[in-house]
Amino acid sequence: MNYLKKLLIITLITNYNIMSSYNVIKQQQKDSGFYYFKKGIKLDNLNKHHLAYNYYLKARAFYKNKNDLDSVAECNFQVYTLLNSQKNLGLDPQVYFIDFINYVNNSTDTIKQIKSYKEYAIKLLKKSQYSNSLEFYRRIIFLSKRIKNREIEANTYSNLGLLYTNYKKDSASYFFEKALKIYDNSLTTEIFSTYLNYGNLYQKEGDFDNAIKKFKKAEKINPEKYALNLKRILFFKLAQSHQKINDYKTAYFYFDKYDLIRDSINNTQQNIAISDIKEKYDNEKLRANNLEIESKRKQSQNLLYGSLAFLFLSGTIGFLTLKNSRKKRLLAEQQNELEKQKNLTLLKEQEINTINAMVDGQEKERIRIAEDLHDNIGSVLATLKLHFENLKLNREKKHFDQDELYAKTENLIDETYLKVRSIAHAKNAGVIANKGLLVAVKLMAEKISDANKITIHVLDFGLDKRLENKLEITLFRIIQELITNIIKHANASEATINIALYDQNLNIIIEDNGKGFKYDKTTLKEGIGLSSIKTRIMHLKGTFNIDSTLGKGTSIIINIPIT
């Protein structure tokens, strides 16, 4: 395995531990299983994998006995990641991963779902299937924003930078910088890994001076987890880079540090120890299964005697229950009829509210069109009227150059035509062309990016089908207005439009790297058309949130239910 692949695996394994701090195991008391699990985590971070493996198996056995499936799933995931990072072991980590996935598929735990998506992304990335891997990272970004988890979001941007390193260098740099801005200073391992990957990007391009600068920033950080493995890779990379610029003295210095760390890590002995523990664990499991079979035989015998007694009692109780059930059935039918009446009333109220919102929206659209006509066309027509009066005066008194006046008048007529056409085009651009919301947004982003003043990225997930036409038009207008605000006011060089449809909920996130503003000190009335946008979203039963920091850009999050 070359050092780039080692760097990839260690970075991604390190990133799993971000999520483990949020939902490792839900315990109110520190029982034996919790103690074993936390001990395993601690030893794993210290590269003592053979000891960590032993504690994970103890925790897993304890929670299996307690039928605590959520905690068993956490243990399965940790064992899988540990075995997957070891080579030439002869143990199949996929068994534990399959158990974990089976649990996640029947769970609503968002953190565990993110873990499974990240593992799929890693597998695809190792196979160089970048577009498929990117799809899973987009899902993770969407879910992390949904639960407002900035650490997972930053970690995913770092992984996207690693993904783009192989074929899109500018995007890789963009995502590395984005991750570093979000990371909290306490996340030493994650920041270290990001600088390491950033330096590797420059090293692959042959820009060894900038590569060394990034590696030096990593060297100043003491990673909390996997310190030996990460520093071993860093020193090797520094030695390579200094060798390339003919600084052989410094290259030798880092090669020497690399050898010292490499000798202190003995993965072969750890693999042997893990194999021994696995064999002992399997033997103990076999003995436990034999005891369980004997116990079940005795339980079956007792169950037979109990069943006979139960049949006698149940016959008596059944007769009495039958009489009771008839009365309950009649009451239930009456209750169902009342519920139907309530639902009909509620539907009528909702229909009235929808009609009112639609009428209100149409009225506002008329007002906007009237304002456009007044501001854009009114002034031109007024000037045109003066020109006609001058033409009349010129015909009678010939005070002006007639050809010049005709030319000016013709230019004003052309200008009026173009403005009317522009207003009509602006009201129907993209969506009404039957191309759909997503295509319209991408075309808009492409046209704006072509002007080389700002680059707009469009990320989408789950929007495989068209939405209702009126809804698509409304959403396109909102996105168009927000992008216009960024161009006019944010002074940004890049912006991102995230559009995702997940669980009948449409999520739109618009971000820029502009100058930002103090949203808490700005009223919506002063907010560059934001009041109008918020009102339209409220009519769609949606939510509208703004997160802006001076000098760091603005994020606008819109959630709209799709029924």
What is the C-alpha to C-alpha distance for residues 468 and 46, in angstroms, rounded to an integer? 55
Residue 511: which H helix or E strand, with range?
Answer: strand 505-512
pLDDT exceeds cutoff 70 at 368: no
Any idea of the CA torsion for 236, 237, 238, 239, to the nearest 10 degrees? 50
Report the 10 Å Cβ neighbour count for 100: 24
pLDDT exceeds cutoff 50 at 281: yes
- Residue 546: how many CA atoms within 13 Å on its side-chain side? 21
pLDDT exceeds cutoff 80 at 409: no
Residue 493: which H helix or E strand, with range?
Answer: none
Q: Which of 35-44, 136-145, 291-300, 507-516 tops mean pLDDT? A: 507-516
Burial of 556 (0-12, 13-18, 19+ CB in 10 A): buried
| 3-state secondary structure at position 551 | coil
Report the 10 Å Cβ neighbour count for 117: 20
Q: Which of 58-72, 82-96, 345-359 tops mean pLDDT? A: 58-72
Contact 43, 55 (CB under 8 A): yes
Give me the pLDDT at residue 544, please. Answer: 93
Residue 147: which H helix or E strand, with range?
Answer: none
pLDDT exceeds cutoff 80 at 501: yes
Give me the pLDDT at residue 500, please. Answer: 92
Bridge partners of 459, per DSSP, are 498
Bridge partners of 94, per DSSP, are none
Q: Residue 226's closest CA among 13, 8, 4?
A: 13
What is the C-alpha to C-alpha distance for residues 149 and 279, in angstroms, rounded to an integer? 40
Q: Which of 17-21, 383-387, 473-477, 539-543 has the lowest mean pLDDT?
A: 17-21
The torsion angles phi and psi of 456, rounded to 5 degrees, stand at -115, 120
Report the 10 Å Cβ neighbour count for 136: 22
pLDDT exceeds cutoff 90 at 545: yes
Give me the pLDDT at residue 328, please. Answer: 82
Query: Per-residue pLDDT averaged across 111-140, rounded?
Result: 80
Query: Per-residue pLDDT averaged across 392-413, rounded?
Result: 69
pTM (two decimals):
0.42
| 3-state secondary structure at position 85 | helix
Q: Residue 18's closest CA among 179, 195, 258, 217?
A: 179
pLDDT exceeds cutoff 80 at 553: yes
- Going from N- to C-terminal start, the domains of the chain cover 188-265, 434-561
Residue labelled with tokens 């990335």:
125
Give me the pLDDT at residue 402, please. Answer: 67
Q: What percentage of the chain carries pLDDT values higher than 90?
A: 12
CATH 1.25.40.10: does it fit domain 188-265? yes
Q: Which of 243-247, 289-293, 462-466 tops mean pLDDT? A: 243-247
What is the C-alpha to C-alpha distance for residues 13 and 16, in angstroms, rounded to an integer? 5
Q: Residue 496's closest CA among 462, 524, 454?
A: 454
Any idea of the CA torsion for 17, 22, 26, 32, to the nearest 10 degrees? 40
Burial of 463 (0-12, 13-18, 19+ CB in 10 A): middle
pLDDT tens for each residue of 12-65: 545 544 444 434 444 433 467 888 888 888 887 777 777 888 898 889 899 988
Question: Helix/strand/coil (H, E, C) string of 513-541?
Answer: CCCCCCHHHCCHHHCCCHHHHHHHHHHCC
Query: Per-residue pLDDT averaged across 413-426, rounded?
Result: 66
Query: Per-residue pLDDT averaged across 434-456, rounded?
Result: 85
Residue 224: which H helix or E strand, with range?
Answer: none
Give me the pLDDT at residue 456, please. Answer: 93
pLDDT band at 376 (very low <50, low <70, confident <90, very high): low
Give me the pLDDT at residue 479, please. Answer: 93
Any idea of the CA torsion for 333, 338, 342, 343, to the nearest 10 degrees? 10
Q: What percentage of the chain carries pLDDT values higher than 70?
A: 73
Q: Residue 135's closest CA among 160, 155, 109, 107?
A: 160
pLDDT band at 132 (very low <50, low <70, confident <90, very high): confident
Domain 434-561 in this protein, CATH class? alpha beta
Helix, strand, coil percentages (3-state) for the chain, rounded to 5, are 75, 5, 20
pLDDT exceeds cutoff 70 at 282: no
pLDDT exceeds cutoff 70 at 186: yes
